[in-house]
Chains A and B, each alone.
Chain A
Amino acid sequence: MDFDFSDDQKFLKDEARKFLDGRCGPAVVRGVLDDPARSFDKDLWAAVAEQGWLGACIPEEFNGLGLGRVELCAIAEELGRAVAPIPFASTVYFLAEGVMLAGSQDQKATILPRIAAGELIGCLATSEGPGVVNASNLACRVEGGKLTGVKIPVTDGDVADMALVLASEAGKAGLYLVDLTAKGVSRETLKSLDPTRSVAKLTFDGVAAERIGEAGAGFDLVQAIMDRAAVLLAFEQLGGSDKCLEMAKDYALGRYAFGRVIAGYQAIKHKLADMYVKNEVARSNAYYGAWALNVDAPELPIAASAARIAASDAFWFSSKESIQVHGGMGFTWDVDCHLYYRRSRQLSLVAGAPRVWKERLVSQLEQKNAA
Chain B
Amino acid sequence: MDFNDSPEEAAYRDKARAWLAENAAAHRAQFGDVKANTPEHMAAAKAWQARKAGAGYACITWPAAIGGGGGTPIQSVIFGQEETKAGLSYGYFTIGLGMCVPTVMAFSNTETKQRFVSPAVKGEEIWCQLFSEPAGGSDVAALRTRAIKDGDEWVINGQKVWTTGAHYCDFGILLTRTDPDVPKHKGLTMFWIDMRDAAVECRPIHQMSGGREFNEVYFTDLRVKDSQRLGEVGDGWKVALVTLMNERLAVGGSSGPNYREIMGLARELTGATGPAIKDNAFREKLADWYVQSEGLKFTRFRTMTALSRGQTPGPESSIGKIIAANQMQELANTAVEMEDQYGILVDPAQAPAEAAFQQSLMWAPGLRIAGGTDEILKNIIAERVLGLPGDVRVDKDVAFKDMPTGR
Beta-carbon contacts under 8 Å, A284-326 to B: 284-285, 287-288, 290-291, 294, 305-306, 309-310, 313
Q: Is B389 engaged at the interface, CB distance under 8 Å to the other chain? A: yes
**Chain B residue total in the interface (Cβ 8 A):** 53
Query: Chain A, 80-94, contact with B by CB distance < 8 Å: what is the 0/1 string?
Result: 000000000000000
**A70 interface residue, CB < 8 Å from B?**
yes
Complex partner residue of A3 from B1, B6, B295, B375, CB under 8 angstroms:
B1
Q: Is the CB of B302 within 8 A of A270?
A: no
Taking a contact as CB atoms closer than 8 A, the residue among B1, B306, B323 that contacts A287 in the complex is B1
Question: Once the chains bind, are B286 and A362 in contact (CB under 8 Å)?
Answer: yes
Contact of B287 among A268, A282, A358 (CB under 8 A): A358
In angstroms, Cα B292 to Cα A306, docked, is 9
**Which stretch from A44-52, A167-175, A180-188, A258-266 is at the chain B interface?**
A258-266
Known: A1-B74, A269-B386, A276-B385. 8 other contacts (CB 8 A): A5-B1, A264-B389, A281-B291, A310-B291, A358-B283, A358-B288, A361-B290, A362-B287
Point out which of A270, A277, A313 has the most chain B C-beta atoms below 10 A from its C-beta.
Answer: A277
Q: What 1/0 mask marks residues of chain A from 1 to 37 whose CB sits below 8 Å from any chain B CB?
A: 1111110000000000000000000000000000000
Considering the chains assembled together, what is the distance between the CA atoms of A61 and B283 in angstroms? 44
Residues of B within 8 A of A3 (CB): 1-3, 298, 301-302, 304-305
Q: Which 4 A-B pairs have the closest CB atoms?
A: A281-B295, A284-B298, A358-B287, A269-B382
Answer yes or no: A57 CB below 8 A from chain B CBs. no
**A1:B6 contact, CB within 8 angstroms:** yes
B319 CB-CB contact with A under 8 Å: yes
> Which of chain B's residues have a CB closer than 8 A to the CB of A355?
284
Q: Are A291 and B286 in contact (CB under 8 A)?
A: no
Other-chain contact of B298, A269, A277, A288, A358 (Cβ < 8 Å): A288
Contact A290:B1 (CB < 8 A) given known A273-B382, A285-B294, A355-B284: yes
- Complex interface: chain B residues within 8 A of A277 (CB): 319, 322-323, 381
From A4, A6, A253, A274, contact of B378 by CB (8 A): A274
Q: Are B283 and A362 in contact (CB under 8 A)?
A: yes
Q: Are B378 and A270 in contact (CB under 8 A)?
A: yes
Q: Report B306 CB to chain A, min CB distance, Å.
A: 7
Does chain B have a CB within 8 A of A221? Answer: no
From the candidates B305, B382, B388, name the one contacting A2 in the complex (CB within 8 A). Answer: B305
- A5, A273, A361: the one contacting B381 at CB < 8 Å is A273
Instruction: Enumerate chain B residues within 8 angstroms of A220, measured Cβ to Cβ.
Output: none
Identify which of residues 346-360 in chain B touch chain A, using a CB-to-CB cut-off of 8 Å: none
Which one of B288, B378, B381, B388 contacts A264 once the chains associate, using CB atoms below 8 Å? B388
Residues on B lying within 8 angstroms of A by beta carbon are: 1-6, 9, 74, 260, 263-264, 277, 280, 283-284, 286-288, 290-292, 294-299, 301-302, 304-306, 308-309, 316, 319, 322-323, 375, 377-379, 381-383, 385-392
Known contacts A264-B391, A362-B287; A269/B378 CB under 8 A = yes
CB nearest to A308 among chain B residues = B291
Q: Count of A residues near B, CB < 8 Å?
A: 49
In angstroms, Cα B322 to Cα A273, docked, is 11
20 contacts between A and B (CB under 8 A): A2-B6, A3-B1, A3-B2, A3-B301, A249-B386, A266-B391, A269-B379, A270-B375, A274-B378, A276-B381, A277-B381, A282-B295, A284-B296, A290-B1, A291-B1, A357-B287, A358-B284, A359-B280, A361-B287, A365-B286
Q: Is residue A272 within 8 Å, beta carbon to beta carbon, of the partner chain?
A: yes
B-side interface mostly: helix
In the bound complex, how far is the Cα of B391 from the Cα of A260, in angstroms? 11
B287: chain A residues within 8 A (beta carbon): 305, 309, 357-359, 361-362
Partner of A1, one of B305, B316, B382, B390: B305
What is A's interface to B at a CB cutoff of 8 Å? Answer: 1-6, 70, 245, 249, 252-253, 260-261, 263-264, 266, 268-270, 272-274, 276-277, 280-285, 287-288, 290-291, 294, 305-306, 309-310, 313, 355, 357-359, 361-362, 365-366, 369
Question: Given A1-B74, A273-B382, A358-B284, A306 and B294 touching (CB < 8 A)?
Answer: yes
Q: Which chain A positions have C-beta within 8 A of B290?
A: 306, 361-362, 365
**B301: chain A residues within 8 A (beta carbon):** 1, 3, 284
* Candidate in A261, A266, A310, A362 with the most chain B CB atoms within 10 angstroms: A362
B3 pairs with A269, CB closer than 8 A = no
Q: How far is the CB of A276 from chain B (nearest CB, A)?
A: 6
Cβ-defined contact, B388 with A4, below 8 A: no
Distance between A263 CB and nearest chain B CB, rounded to angstroms: 5
Q: Which residues of A contact B284 (CB under 8 A)?
A: 355, 358
Contact call A291/B302, Cβ cutoff below 8 A: no
Give complex CA distance A3, B377 in Å. Answer: 25
Smallest beta-carbon distance A256→chain B, Å:
12
CB distance from A356 to the nearest CB of B (A): 11
